[in-house]
Amino acid sequence: MKWNSLHIALLATVTLLAAACASIGNPSGGARDEQPPRFVRANPAPNSANVPLSADKVNIDFDELVNVKDAMQKVVVSPPSKSVPRVASQGRRVTVSFTDSLLPNTTYTIDFADAIEDNNEANPLVNFSYTFSTGPVVDSLRIAGRVLSALGMEPMQSKIVGVHRVAYDADSVMIPDVRPLPPLSDTTANMQALPAIFHRMFDRVARTDDRGRFSIEGLAPGRYRVYALDDTNSDYLFSSPEEEMAFYETVVEPYSESATATDTIFNTKLGTVDSIVTRPRTVFLPNDLLLRSFLTDRKQQFVSSYTRQDSTRINLVFNAPNRPAPTFALAGIDDAADWYVMERSEGADTISLWIKDPRIIATDTLRLAVGYQKLDSLSRYITVSDTLRLTTNRPRKPKAPKADKKKKEAEADTTPPPVKLMQYSLVSSQLDVDRPLLIQTDAPLARLDSAAFRLEELVDTLWTDTGRPRLQRDSLNPRLYRIERPWKYGTKYRLSADTLAMESIYGLSTAPFSQEFSTKAEKEYCSLILNVADWPAALPAFVEILSQSDAPTRRMPLEGGRVRFNHLQPGKFYFRIVADLNGNGRWDSGDILEGRQPEPAFYYPKSISVKQNWNKEETWRVFDTPADEMKPSTLLKNKPTPRKNERNNNQTNPEEEDDEDDFYNQFPSSRLQ
């Protein structure tokens, strides 16, 4: 068979078709789309002035199909209104519909944060905002900063940050934000005397992002007070003490100034710098405000639960700490005096009353009047009294069979009743050398004979007397006693007591007692010294060791810029220093009514590992690290959300001594001081 040009062409065509049929797959669609939607146009146009008050919606168009995600949580319209505007998307358009009439001569800003994303890949358009004005001027000033929790230094996410413009009187004197309250009878005057955050919605607002950052835009020239608020009921007011809040300590006056920005243009083919250009830009200040948020101690107080555990004990739990401690009286028993012993927590929010009076123990139903302080409608403390009804159910004795009853009656004259004894024990049999030995009794004591106790240590194989120990009762728990002395390393001890060494308030005495305990060897410990180089000498402070769950485990006062932690268990340590402004040895929250900020705290920016039987010394310059970069990422709970179109530079924190989850450090951070 001769092959002509037609045969050859047909054969080639069949071969190509066969090859195409044998290759099964999808055609290439190009690189994955990682670009967010691009703004195209809006009606009214961005930064429009003299927008009519009758306008009831805004249309914003983009270059691709878009969605609005979590609009209620992310989109913020400023100034706020009682009726929240509706935000919806359809196709390439986002529409914001106003349910209230627009205000005259007002600049409106709609901050979408990262709520707008494309329909296919969900790439978010970050930090997108839109502005227009109903007057002839579009206010363009702004202030920015970050909100951190006061003690934990966590970035406070999705919190409202708002401003109130400062009011002046007729003589142009600034009206203070915290003023003495008028008499209780004048309710209106009382409410107006409270800080504006209690009764007036913010003039302008913004919402913090996942790093705690905020930017309040569209501000007119003037002076403002700045607040942050966990606005749980979306009323833009501090309406509940359960809402976490913050306030900036001074009045803020926004302004702008000209600056020069430098842009570097790269040659993408050669990977070299092509050129460097400069351009003018406007900087809006202040842009580094740091607000420390806190929960006020002025929580609404009430008795959240109460029980009569048995005939001898009443337990009460309060909603918040009590200062001062509550008072208690029995209704209908006028001559009851010194009838209980109180056992309580440090804040007196958990209380047990051990009843001493036999008449009251025998009473099945009690009416207990509890006097304590609670807040009135103006957040002022008033003393109130609640009467609680408490009952006890006494167990019934089971009826014995008749045969057993006759037998017991016959033995009654010869068998003595069992002797009831009071019990007590050591809290732990393993003791750190710098801790007291704790002894727990099962009821409060009416009598303690310290001379009946002996403390011995094991020397070689012999128990050697070390003298009479001194038992000290705990100030909060009347059933807890401690013995303090310089314990020796790696030593076994024995605490003994004679009969009748203790007697409870119920007349029960103790049997002979003997229990051994031991201390750890010196080589099992390590120690650490922190030299805090830049802390002001006149500012009292204490340093806390923190666990990996950010909970304090040890606390020591800072003395002479130095703190030493002895007898530590080897491991990894984190540290926090707290400015103890009132010198009470604990962290204190803030109070907006008193204009008092929470006591500031600062974190050591890395972990420190100390090995067994090692001593380590470190120098800490607290203010060398910006406040928003202090907290080690391992301790950080509110980590920012990673985004698809953000690069992961995989940089580790050079400050970290140990391997840590460096998730938080991959994002740029503002350098707040």
Express each pLDDT in 538-576 by its tens digit: 999 999 999 999 999 999 999 999 999 999 999 999 999
Residue 350 belongs to a domain: yes
* Bridge partners (DSSP) listed for residue 60: 42, 94
The CATH number covering residue 635 comes to 2.60.40.10
- The model's pTM is 0.81
Q: Are residues 577 and 603 in the same domain?
A: yes
Band the pLDDT of 62: cuts 50, 70, 90: very high
Residue 176 belongs to a domain: yes
Residue showing tokens 């209690």: 198
Q: Is the pLDDT of residue 383 over 60?
A: yes
Q: What is the pLDDT of residues 17-28, one digit of tens each?
A: 444 444 444 445
Neighbours of 56 (CB within 10 A): 14
Residue showing tokens 């600034």: 174
Of 406 and 119, more confident? 119
Question: For residue 406, is it left (φ>0), alpha (ψ between -120 and 50) or beta?
Answer: alpha
Residue 4 belongs to a domain: no
Q: Is the pLDDT of residue 645 over 60?
A: no
CA-based nearest residue to 579, from 595, 552, 606, 598: 598
Domain boundary among 90, 121, 138: 138
Q: What is the pLDDT of residues 440-466, one digit of tens each?
A: 999 999 999 999 999 999 999 999 999
Residue 395 belongs to a domain: no
CA pair distance 484, 653, nearest whole angstrom: 43
Alpha helices in 303-377 (DSSP H): 358-361
Residue showing tokens 């304090």: 552
Q: Are residues 146 and 121 in the same domain?
A: no
Task: Note the pLDDT of residue 404.
Answer: 66
DSSP 404: H
CA pair distance 201, 49, nearest whole angstrom: 24
CA pair distance 46, 39, nearest whole angstrom: 11
CA pair distance 201, 375, nearest whole angstrom: 22
Domain boundary among 344, 378, 412: 378
The CATH number covering residue 72 comes to 2.60.40.1220
CA-based nearest residue to 473, from 489, 484, 485, 460: 484
- Contact at 8 Å (CB) between 76 and 127? no
- Percent over 70 (pLDDT), the chain: 83
Question: For residue 234, is it left (φ>0), alpha (ψ between -120 and 50) or beta?
Answer: left
Domain boundary among 458, 481, 510: 510
Which residues 6+ apart lie within 8 Å of 195 measured at CB? 177, 178, 238, 592, 593
Q: How many domains does the chain have?
A: 5
CA pair distance 419, 441, nearest whole angstrom: 18
Residue 12 belongs to a domain: no
Residue 445 φ/ψ, nearest 5 degrees: -100, 145
Which residues 6+ apart lie within 8 Å of 277 measured at CB? 262, 263, 265
The CATH number covering residue 143 comes to 2.60.40
Q: Is the pLDDT of residue 625 over 80?
A: yes
Q: Are residues 532 and 645 in the same domain?
A: yes
Q: Where are the beta strands (DSSP E) in 580-666?
A: 601-603, 608-610, 615-620
Q: Are residues 574 and 620 in the same domain?
A: yes
Q: What is the pLDDT of residues 121-176, one digit of tens each?
A: 899 999 899 999 999 999 999 999 999 999 999 999 999 999 999 977 665 666 66
Task: Note the pLDDT of residue 277.
Answer: 81
Q: Where are the beta strands (DSSP E) in 525-588?
A: 526-532, 541-546, 552-557, 562-568, 571-579
Band the pLDDT of 260: cuts 50, 70, 90: confident
List the single range of 176-185, 401-410, 646-655 with lowest mean pLDDT: 646-655
Residue 1 belongs to a domain: no
Q: Are residues 335 and 438 in the same domain?
A: no
Q: Is the pLDDT of residue 662 over 90?
A: no
Q: Is the pLDDT of residue 667 over 80?
A: no
Residue 283 belongs to a domain: no
Alpha helices in 47-109 (DSSP H): 71-74
Q: Are residues 171 and 246 in the same domain?
A: yes
> Strand 601-603 vs strand 571-579: parallel, antiparallel, or unpaired?
antiparallel
Task: Note the pLDDT of residue 563.
Answer: 97
Task: Note the pLDDT of residue 190.
Answer: 53
Task: Note the pLDDT of residue 273.
Answer: 75
Whole-number Cα distances in Å, 173 to 149, 203, 633 = 33, 20, 46
Q: Is the pLDDT of residue 659 over 90?
A: no
Radius of gyration of the chain (CA): 36
Q: What is the pLDDT of residues 41-54, one digit of tens each?
A: 999 999 999 999 99
CA-based nearest residue to 529, from 561, 571, 551, 569: 561
Band the pLDDT of 647: cuts 50, 70, 90: very low
Q: Are residues 535 and 657 in the same domain?
A: yes
Band the pLDDT of 398: cuts 50, 70, 90: low
Q: Are residues 334 and 444 in the same domain?
A: no
Residue 394 belongs to a domain: no
Of 83 and 651, more confident? 83
Whole-number Cα distances in Å, 568 to 561, 572, 614 = 20, 10, 10
Q: What is the dihedral of CA 167, 171, 172, 176, to 10 degrees?
A: -40
Highest mean predicted confidence (pLDDT) among 28-42, 367-381, 621-635: 621-635
The kind and range of the H/E element at 19 are: helix 5-22
Please compute the mean of the pLDDT values over residues 400-407 and round it to a whole number: 63
Task: Note the pLDDT of residue 522.
Answer: 94
User: Whole domain around residue 654: which residue ranges?
Assistant: 524-666
Q: What is the dihedral of CA 598, 600, 604, 607, to 10 degrees?
A: -10
Q: Are residues 125 and 180 in the same domain?
A: no
Q: Are residues 459 and 348 in the same domain?
A: no
In this structure, what token pair is assigned to residue 357? 């009076």
Residue showing tokens 């961005």: 46
Of 162 and 643, more confident? 162
Q: Are residues 628 and 498 in the same domain?
A: no
DSSP 451: G
Q: Are residues 360 and 451 in the same domain?
A: no
CA pair distance 238, 245, nearest whole angstrom: 8
